[in-house]
Chains A and B, each alone.
Chain A
Amino acid sequence: MKRSWSDVALSVWGVLVFLFLFAPIIVIIISAFNSGRLLVAWDGFGFDGFAALLEKPAIQSAVWVSIQTGFIAAIVATVLGTLAGIAMARHPGKWVFWFIGLLLLVSVTPEIVDAVALLPWLVFLGQDLGIGLFNDGIVRLVVGHSLFSTAVVSYIVRARLVGLDAQLEEASADLYAKPFATFRRVTLPLAMPAVLAGFLLSFTLSLDNTIIAAFVQVSGTTPWPVYVLSALRSGLRPEIASVSTIMLVLTLVALALVALVLRRAGDSATQIARTMTGN
């Protein structure tokens, strides 16, 4: 089949945008093998940056804290956001107006305000009310990172379901499926692409959060972005790029594995959802 020029143009555009997204990352991968003192100034090829990781527990700990926090925060935000998004799309009413207002407020509030507000609040919950949970660094980071992400997931899930006919759910109910079964077998698969996208976006946002993280962290839980930002004072070393490269490679390997598993399983989640909607 001959492809039309618009299809070709679209594909070219898609590839170009992906190149744009990865351009700086390529530079970082190259810098990871810089044996000099500064990340940006090429000195010579070497593995010094990778070796430095072994010497610096602070770096390993920071990366690990960030990954843990990212996962938990993304799960929290995805669960809360998905439920809220489905409620907004399927049970609209006056409350949606107020809820969207709250979500907008969450997204518009500058991070520094969240940061200075959350810090004394978490200390109050943890120390004064004695809820020990809130003295835990990871819990604090998860709370801080989940706010904006919850709003993001809610928007995306709502955007997915709004206006998409509820006939399937009605049919399911007509067939005497229990509400929970309808939710699990019909609504959730319909929303699934949005849920996955929201999860990935939440993870990404958490991994990059610097300002809130810097304020709420406790001893032993400095996350990676805070470490990098404060390492500017003595000049970023190539090891920062080396860590990033290792993370990238691990990510790509994980993705390849997932892709493989999905192919084995037969179909992607997107396809399952489509089969259901378009029969």
Chain B
Amino acid sequence: MPRFALAIPAWAWLAIFFVAPVAMVVWFSFGYKPGIFGTHANDVLSFDRYLEALSPTFFSTFLNTLWIGLAGTALCLLIGLPVAYWMAVKAPPSRRGLLIALVLVPFWTNFLVRTIGWQVILAPEGWLSTLLQDVGLIGGPLDILYTRSAVLIGVVYNYLPLMILPLFVAFDRVGTPVREASKDLGAGRWRTFLRVTLPLARPGVIAGVLLVFIPLMGDYITATVLGGAKGNMVGQLVASQFQAAQNWALGSAMAVMLILVIMVTVAVGALVVWLVMLPIRSRNRLVLGDAPAAATGGDRASEAARESEEVLS
């Protein structure tokens, strides 16, 4: 049996329902839009659509998108990490399943409907505005809708579960014995968290960051619903070609460009993180490796941490 035997069903499913149809759309990108009522034609092939796609608008919009993607992912991590840790480690074990479900329940209400809920809360004449004015925190009506802050509220709200769940699963697996072993070895709770728990949860952190950042970069609706014009994203350009312009050739070329640019961004980001973590990692190893009276638990922790590092680097 090949090593990837268990992954064959997923390979097959994605090959049939993703690779094949999307390859067809990629093929459109080498064609053109025939006349005003057609969407695509491929009898003449060229790279012209790619030249069209690489417009200044594409890059200026991409910068805005990158900003929203990075800021949104960072905020999701900052807000989600303590919650996931709390759910996985501090909350009573019998309640954990319930807590996971509760993270998701708000999202079983339709996207537009939740958005409207936020608009009601954040409206200049809404109750939050009145409350803040009565308390004296703000001088005039709340002026947050259609600002960059509103963009981030919308993004963080809608992507938070995609961060919390992988983090929860990762923290949950660290397990009490490992943490207690660390404490037995004299590490404080912060040291235990930073040196043992967090490194062991790293696959979860990476999964969470990718699950938020990557789809967010291709998204174009979430950021605009509360942020209006400030939430303009590059996915909108792609969608506008498929929809309003009905130019599937150009839309496909833009989509391919978008995917390439995002992949490059992720690769560059991974490289930067790897370089930044390099000194920290070697120091960690030194400290754990030097601990003279390492009990089995400590050994296991350091071993597991090293293992996870190797797998991910």
Give Cα distance in the complex from A258 to B261, angstroms. Answer: 44
Q: Which residues of B contact A146 (CB under 8 A)?
A: 13, 17
Q: Which of B50-58, B130-138, B199-207 contacts A (4 or more CB under 8 A)?
A: B199-207
Q: Given the interface contacts A10-B82, A108-B215, A109-B259, does A25 sit within 8 Å of B252 by beta carbon?
A: no
Q: Is the CB of B112 within 8 A of A228?
A: yes
Contact status B308-A163, CB under 8 Å: yes
Given A108-B215, A159-B166, A194-B169, A87 and B82 contact (CB-CB distance below 8 Å):
no
Is B10 a contact partner of A225 (Cβ separation < 8 A)? no
A53-78 vs B, CB cutoff 8 Å, 1 = contact: the mask equals 00000000000000000000000100
- Find residues 229-279 in chain A having any chain B CB closer than 8 Å to their own CB: 229, 232, 236, 240-241, 244, 247-248, 251-252, 255, 258-259, 262-263, 267-271, 273-274, 277-278
Q: Which residues of A contact B220 (CB under 8 A)?
A: 110
**Nearest-Cβ distance from residue A99 to partner chain B, whole angstroms:** 6
Quick check: is B191 within 8 A (CB to CB) of the other chain? no
The proximity string for B residues 125-154 relative to A, scoring 1 for CB distances below 8 Å and 0 otherwise, is 000000000000000000000000000000
Q: Choose the segment among B41-49, B103-111, B278-286, B288-296 that binds chain A (4+ C-beta atoms closer than 8 Å).
A: B103-111
Contact with A along B147-175 (1 / 0, CB 8 A): 00000000001001110011011101101
> How far does the alpha carbon of A110 sit from the alpha carbon of B80 in the complex, in Å?
25
Q: Is the CB of B173 within 8 A of A160?
A: yes
> Which of A22, A120, A255 contacts B106, CB < 8 Å?
A22
B90 contacts which chain A residues (CB < 8 A)?
Answer: 7, 10-11, 14
Residues in chain B near residue A196, CB distance under 8 A: 97, 100
Question: Interface size on B (CB < 8 Å)?
Answer: 104
Contact A106 B113 (CB under 8 A): no
Total count of chain A residues near the partner, CB < 8 A: 108
Q: Is the pair B14, A197 in contact by a Cβ cutoff of 8 Å? A: no
> With A163-B203, A164-B304, A208-B110 given, is the CB distance from A114 to B18 under 8 Å?
yes
Whose C-beta in chain A lies nearest to the C-beta of B238?
A110
* A173 at interface by CB-CB < 8 Å: no
A194 contact set on B, CB distance < 8 A: 169
Q: How far is the CB of A96 from chain B (nearest CB, A)?
A: 8
Candidate in B4, B5, B121, B305 with the most chain A CB atoms within 10 angstroms: B4
Q: Which residue of A lies closest to B204 (CB)?
A: A159
Bitwise, A78-122 to B at CB < 8 A (1) or not (0) is: 011101101110011101100100101111111111101110110
Sample 25 A-B pairs with CB under 8 A, ordered by A number.
A13-B82, A14-B90, A23-B118, A24-B116, A40-B119, A84-B6, A87-B4, A107-B211, A108-B258, A108-B259, A110-B235, A112-B238, A113-B255, A116-B25, A147-B17, A156-B166, A156-B207, A158-B203, A159-B166, A160-B203, A163-B304, A197-B169, A201-B162, A244-B109, A268-B93
